Amino acid sequence: MSECIFCGIVGGEIPSRKVLETDSCLAFLDIFPANRGHTLVIPKRHVLDIHEADADTYADVAATAKKVADILQSKLNSEGTTIFQMSREAGWQTVFHLHMHVIPRWSNDGLHKPWDIAPGNEAELDQVLQQITK
């Protein structure tokens, strides 16, 4: 039995409700859904997070998430979509196998942004841009 839950799902040892399967990715319903149809997209090959994944693997997961988003929109008549991808504990990741959350959205569905919206300090924005780009 794999120690990784999502590898267990890929291997069929742990049941899942499959939404889409490609040669390299699997999409299945999240069992603690934020909204109706909340789906996770994972690469079949174990990789930890965005920083450990190579760009091709990440792009493959993103392309599959796009397919899933379109399927959910057309089948569930959702009005919008929110994509989340958490990496590492500080980034709110709890299952350490790369995954994207594809969450169908409706107006007034009760979900809210996990951060407070406030204007940034101009000097801090300039300083961080300099640090990122120098």
Chain residues in the site for Zn ion (CB under 5 A): 4, 6-7, 46, 97
- Residues shown for the chain: 134
**Which one of 35, 44, 86, 109 is in contact with ligand AMP (CB under 6 A)?**
86
User: Is 99 among the catalytic positions?
Assistant: yes
d(CA 121, CA 115): 16
Residue 91, by phi and psi: left (phi above 0), alpha (psi -120 to 50) or beta? Answer: alpha
DSSP state of 78: -
- CA-CA distance, 131 to 102, in Å (whole number)? 32
d(CA 3, CA 5): 6
Interface with ligand AMP, residue 129, by CB under 6 A: no
Q: Which of 18, 21, 31, 75 binds ligand AMP (CB under 6 A)?
A: 31
Rounded distance, CA 111 to CA 9, Å?
28
Instruction: Enter the DSSP assignment of 86.
Output: -
CB of 103 to ligand AMP, least distance (A): 10
CB of 10 or CB of 120, closer to ligand AMP: 10
Q: Binding of ligand AMP at residue 109 (CB under 6 A)?
A: no
Binding partner of 4, given Zn ion, ligand AMP, none, CB within 5-8 angstroms per partner class: Zn ion
Quick one: what does residue 62 bind among ligand AMP, Zn ion, none, with the CB cut-off 5 to 8 Å set by partner type?
A: none
Is 94 among the residues that bind ligand AMP (CB under 6 A)? yes
**Footprint of ligand AMP on this chain (CB under 6 A)?**
5, 14, 16, 30-32, 40, 86, 92-95
